[in-house]
Amino acid sequence: MHKVMTHDWYETKKVSNDLYLIREKYVAKWLRCNVWLIKGRDRNLVIDSGMGLSPLKPHLLALGGSPLTAVMTHCHFDHIGGLCEFDDRLGHRACSDNYLDPMTCFKKTGGEAFVRAETFSVLPFEGFSFESYEVRPAPLTGYLDEGDVLDLGDRSFQVFSLPGHSPDSIALWEEGTGTLFSGDTLYDGDLYDTLYHSDPDAYRESLERLRELPIETVHGGHFGSFGKDRMNELIDGYLKGEGRLVDPEDWVSQQLP
């Protein structure tokens, strides 16, 4: 790993006038999550928060100054690391304890297999080492469940409860545009259903449910966005036993150059 401290931790892509994709550009592509900023008339919505290695909130406020509501698609460390920066913190109650004690969840979900020297191309701050990585507790300030609606004033998103990858996995659905923010329930990569609290049977049901939606665009928790045809390919592959992340140590080793 290059022993270089950086203050330029995030990269930002403007997807549309009111949608931004933010990534931790010095975190390996196979781990870094997608942080989505949706700008609304009355408030802005940030979906997931990365690993918490560099201040995220100031970066988001620079893109648009409206009040921020942070929504976590699930409780895993690579998505909730920056949640402690926000005052308005929403997620599903099924894993609320993990927000109180995120490092226990980190260990149970095999985080050590993912957070290693090769995970970082530069250091986020002086003195950082992968062995010292921690996620700060950030209790949820409100809960989201099936059928809840997040109203931004000029846009609204319906909450889907989609257990499988984790008990608390949710997605946000905007019917008018056919847009789904799917978290780790579905992304364009190998899907992970062997965690301590994963449920493959529930996962299959959740994916089958998505297949029935008139989806135009899926913005996943990792990697690139895609349309309905690719969504169906990913779902079909998973249901056939393909595209599954089973052993994290082996999987990460395959991602390394």
17 in a structural domain? yes
Q: What percent of the chain has pLDDT over 70?
A: 99
19 in a structural domain? yes
4 in a structural domain? no
3-state secondary structure of 220: strand
235 in a structural domain? yes
Strands 244-245 and 149-151, by their bridges, are: unpaired
Burial class (CB in 10 A: 0-12, 13-18, 19+), 19: middle
CA distances from 26 to 49, 121, 177, 195 (A): 15, 5, 32, 26
153 in a structural domain? yes
Lowest model confidence (mean pLDDT) among 3-7, 10-14, 24-28, 169-173: 3-7
Nearest to 60 by CA among 5, 123, 9: 9
Per residue in 179-196, pLDDT tens?
999 999 999 999 999 999
The better pLDDT of the pair 53, 257 is held by: 53
Is the Cα dihedral 257, 11, 33, 130 positive or negative? positive
Read off the CATH number of the domain in which 122 is found.
3.60.15.10
Mean per-residue pLDDT over the chain, rounded:
96
3 in a structural domain? no
Q: Are 124 and 8 in contact (CB under 8 A)?
A: no
State residue 6's pLDDT score: 75
What is the residue range of 148's domain? 10-255
The answer to whether residue 163 scores a pLDDT higher than 50 is: yes
> What span, in angstroms and rounded, lies between the C-alpha atoms of 162 and 223?
19
Alpha helices in 26-167 (DSSP H): 57-63, 77-80, 96-100, 102-108, 111-114
> What span, in angstroms and rounded, lies between the C-alpha atoms of 130 and 77?
14
Q: How does residue 3 score in pLDDT terms, banded at 50, 70 and 90?
A: low
Q: How many domains does the structure of the chain reveal?
A: 1
5 in a structural domain? no
Per residue in 192-203, pLDDT tens?
999 999 999 999
Nearest to 77 by CA among 48, 54, 36: 48
Per residue in 84-129, pLDDT tens?
999 999 999 999 999 999 999 999 999 999 999 999 999 999 889 9
pTM above 0.95, yes or no: yes
2 in a structural domain? no
